[in-house]
Amino acid sequence: NAPLWFQKEAFLKQDFACDAYVNDLRRYVPLETLNTELNNYLSDINHELVDLLNKDYTDFVNLSAKLVDVDGAVMRMRAPLVELQSKLKIVREDTSSALRAVIHTANVLAKVEKLLAELKTEEETS
């Protein structure tokens, strides 16, 4: 029903940019015509949406009934998650402290090895 230049698939592309789309088409198509086709397409999409909702209306209405206990489930999960978060914070702090100690020890060890190497060199030259 739409003209050949009006490609509905363009709207589904990941990199769709409306400014680029309009600028591309306005070279070949008057803006009024493009506006009419876009409004027609919008109307078609709205009709499809209404048809889909009407088709699955019972499931759509029951969806809210199924979601009634979601708040309760979230509240039940909140306390264990907060406790886990607290434990992970302690583990992270302990791990950071241990890592700092290892880095410090490695630095001290590198300095000792350097001093030993210098001492060995001095002994060999004496």
∠ CA 34-38-44 to the nearest 5 degrees? 145
Judged against a pLDDT cut of 80, whether residue 67 lies above it is answered with no
The pLDDT assigned to 112 comes to: 94
The pair of structure tokens assigned to 68 is 């009634």
Residue 32 has, within 13 A of its CA and on its CB side, a CA count of 0
The whole-model pTM stands at 0.43
Cα–Cα distance for residue pair 26/19, rounded to 1 Å: 10
- Other CB atoms within 10 A of residue 25 CB: 19
Give every CB contact of residue 3 below 8 A, 6+ residues apart in sequence. Answer: 37
Give the DSSP letter of residue 28. Answer: T
